[in-house]
Amino acid sequence: MISGISHMTFIVKDLSRAAMFFKKIFNAKEIYCSGDDTFSISKEKFLLMNDIWICIMEGGTFHERTYNHIAFQIKDSDFEIYVERIKIIGAEIKPGRPRVDGEGRSIYFYDFDNHLFELHTGTLNERLARYSS
């Protein structure tokens, strides 16, 4: 039985730059760096965002952008704080999709390797309630 998410792995061109991305936007803490060792498929770093284990591994960059993304929940009162953090490091903010009232607000943005992230203020229950009304 699945008990939760173990970790998320992102393949990145520059480990240091990717680590900075997670640290500056998400307040992630770096807890491991493989250095020149490759215990997995390439050099890697582990970060923690609250209790979420993020693994970044050295590799290629996606050339094509898609809507595939990971969304993290934030408080609505923190929305502008995150917009500013994203702008400060120079990550590209993508225009959001049309929304209906009651489903929350979102910030969509790309990291430096074309991974799409979303910061969302709503919950699943709020969205289901809105869509069923």
In this predicted structure, what is the pLDDT of residue 96? Answer: 78
How many C-beta atoms lie closer than 10 Å to residue 13's C-beta?
14
Q: Can you give the pTM of this predicted structure?
A: 0.88
Mean pLDDT, each 10-residue run in order, the chain (133 residues) = 90 96 97 88 94 94 88 95 97 84 89 95 86 76
In this predicted structure, what is the pLDDT of residue 1? Answer: 87
For residue 57, the cross-strand partners are 11, 44
How far is the C-alpha of 8 from the C-alpha of 124, rounded, in Å?
Answer: 21
Residues 17 and 56 in one domain: yes
Phi and psi at 93, nearest 5°, equal -90, 130
In this predicted structure, what is the pLDDT of residue 72? Answer: 94
In this predicted structure, what is the pLDDT of residue 102? Answer: 76
The domain total for the chain is: 2
How far is the C-alpha of 93 from the C-alpha of 58, rounded, in Å?
Answer: 24
Residues 52 and 86 in one domain: no
CATH number of the domain enclosing 11 = 3.10.180.10
Residues 33 and 48 in one domain: yes
Is there a catalytic annotation at residue 126?
A: no
Residues 81 and 132 in one domain: yes
In this predicted structure, what is the pLDDT of residue 58? Answer: 95
Residues 50 and 103 in one domain: no
Q: Of 29, 60, 91, which closes a domain?
A: 60
Q: Given 44, 64, 80, 84, which residue is catalytic?
A: 44
For residue 28, the enclosing domain spans 1-60
Residues 129 and 75 in one domain: yes
Q: What is the 3-state secondary structure (H, E, C) of 77-120?
A: HHHHHHHHHHHHHCCEEECCCCCCCCCCCEEEEECCCCCEEEEE
